[in-house]
Amino acid sequence: MGNGKTGEKGISTFHLTMLGLGTIVGGSFFLGSGVAIQAAGPSILLSFILGGLLVYIILYALSEMTVADPVPGSFRTYAERSLGRSVGFITGWVYWVGLILAMSSESIAASTFLREWFPSFSEVAMGMLIIVGITLLNLLGADYLSKLESGLAAVKLLAIVGFIVIGLALIAGWIPGTPAAGGGELQNEAWFPGGIAGIAGSMLIVMFSYSGFEVIGLAASEVENPKKTIPRAINMTLISLLALYIAAIAVILMLYPTQGMIADQSPLVLALTRWGMGWAGTLINIVMITAILSTMLASTFGLARMLRSLAAEGHAPAWLKDRHDIPYRGILFSGAAMLLGLAMGYLLPQQVYLFLVSCGGYSLLFSYFIILASHYRWRRVTPCSPEATCQLPGYPYTSWVGLIGMIAIIVSMPFISGQGTGLVVGLGLTALLAGIYWVKERRGRVSAPSSQRPIPAPLTEAAEEITGIRDDRETADEVPDSTTVPKNKKE
């Protein structure tokens, strides 16, 4: 599909893995992990392991549904089928709005870094060029984009590997003229300086460091052989992330004191600069720009496909419907929305803009909770079979662990500086979207002829129970006949 050849899927296991890593490994790790390290101390290693466990549960829940039916819209579509149309509507728009605001903020961060080399450009012009460039690159299609994303992801991964290698050399004393760091700062640190509260306070930023993996599900309808490609990509993504994150954090802990972390500086730069490698600052800044651009590319990919799914179900304006392999309208509309978000960043008072952008974290956590809830409901009515390819071990107990974990992280947001507003805005956005859906559906029922009005749910369920026939009219308008089009070819 992405390669432009009819009937072929362009995204391979490697490209899907790199697309996932390209979205996940971003500024949250290169820059934001210092705040998490300061909050938890050396126990940040436990936080990353716990975060990896939650991601494992969420990813495998999403993978299980995706392999069984790789539909456009991914988790939004599964939420609609398992939890109702209103949840599908709210989930899709919460994710889209939150990520648009987050990516607008990322464009401002990238323009700030780039102005160090291009001081004659204004930040506004630089930010606009970044968004326009990201939008145009997405118009090339999934195949080209996944290959480009593979290259950008490789830069980020090599940077982390390079940091680990240099750090280990410093620890072992293999750098000429530099004394061996040995256990370094880790020998003088209390392992749990903040106790359970410290770990809890770090978990939100840790989850941000893992965020973005849902793009694997959103790309599912454009991959080759989903039943093999998606599980393999998930395994490769999880193993790579856990190994790199834990190794990098362990090296940082040995080279730099946790309480000396500075919020607006990369802990990787601080650790290397402390040991006489100031040149690392310039290189890490280049990598951070690459990380931001890579995240924006992959996020726009997911945003456009989410928007197309919303439009296909009647949850977005009809003019956003796009039946092409590449969702041109969704890409262009998302790009325009990011430009609007960029303008808000410079026109609104900084406090107001940060207030809005902070809901980006809530939107991701809300989406992950919905993925787990949808999967839990789906598994209750879908028996394990060769077609379902059940993968999540320990169901339903692992589902409960994931759901409780996500609730705990969302509830802890007010205890983290700057994130309380994110929870308030996120809850307000959810309530607003619920109200919009109620008004939209009420108007639809009033304007529709009585013969076309939906049958009340209890009567529908009773009819299904008696006849054994399920009424799928809600999605029939946009979903091709499964008797003529294989499920993994739907678009």
Mean pLDDT of 169-188: 72
Radius of gyration of the chain (CA): 23
- Rounded Cα gap, residues 78 and 13, in angstroms: 23
Confidence category of residue 459, pLDDT binned at 50, 70, 90: very low
pLDDT single digits (tens) 3-55: 433 344 457 777 777 777 766 777 677 777 777 787 778 888 898 899 889 98
Q: Can you tell me which residue has the tokens 């291009």?
A: 118
Q: Can you tell me which residue has the tokens 């770990």?
A: 199
- Rounded Cα gap, residues 201 and 194, in angstroms: 9
pLDDT at 128: 92
Confidence category of residue 465, pLDDT binned at 50, 70, 90: very low
Q: Are 38 and 267 in contact (CB under 8 A)?
A: no
pLDDT at 4: 38
Q: Which residue, 100, 43, 58, 95, is CA-closest to 337?
A: 100
pLDDT at 433 over 90: yes
pLDDT at 134: 93
3-state helix/strand/coil string of the chain:
CCCCCCCCCCECHHHHHHHHHHHHCCHHHHCCHHHHHHHHHHHHHHHHHHHHHHHHHHHHHHHHHHHHCCCCCCHHHHHHHHHCHHHHHHHHHHHHHHHHHHHHHHHHHHHHHHCCCCCCCCHHHHHHHHHHHHHHHHCCCHHHHHHHHHHHHHHHHHHHHHHHHHHHHHHHCCCCCCCCCCCHHHHHCCCCCCHHHHHHHHHHHHHHHHCCCCHHHHCHHHECCHHHHHHHHHHHHHHHHHHHHHHHHHHHHHHCCHHHCCCCCCHHHHHHHHCCCCCHHHHHHHHHHHHHHHHHHHHHHHHHHHHHHHHHCCCCCHHHCCCCCCCHHHHHHHHHHHHHHHHHHHHCCHHHHHHHHCHHHHHHHHHHHHHHHHHHHHHHHCCCCCCCCCCCCCCCHHHHHHHHHHHHHHHCHHHCCCCHHHHHHHHHHHHHHHHHHHHHHHHHHHHCCHHHCCCCHHHHHHHHHHHCCCCCHHHHCCCCCCCCCCHHHCC
- Rounded Cα gap, residues 65 and 237, in angstroms: 18
Mean pLDDT of 435-450: 73
pLDDT single digits (tens) 246-303: 998 888 888 888 777 776 677 888 888 887 777 776 787 788 888 888 888 888 888 8
Confidence category of residue 94, pLDDT binned at 50, 70, 90: very high
CA 338 from chain center: how many Å?
Answer: 17
Q: What integer best gives the mean pLDDT of the chain? A: 77
CATH code that applies to domain 13-453: 1.20.1740.10
**How many other β-carbons are positioned within 10 Å of the β-carbon of residue 70?**
23
pLDDT single digits (tens) 219-247: 666 677 777 777 788 888 888 888 888 99
Domains of the chain, by residue range, sit at 13-453
pLDDT at 197 over 80: no
pLDDT at 432 over 70: yes
Considering the chain, what percentage of its residues have pLDDT values greater than 90?
A: 16
pLDDT at 180: 65
pLDDT at 93: 94
Using a cut of 0.85, tell me whether the model's pTM lies above it.
Answer: no
- Rounded Cα gap, residues 248 and 167, in angstroms: 9
Confidence category of residue 352, pLDDT binned at 50, 70, 90: low
pLDDT at 458: 38
Most confident of 64-68, 308-312, 334-338, 446-450: 334-338
Q: Among 196-200, 239-243, 287-291, 487-491, whose mean pLDDT is lowest?
A: 487-491
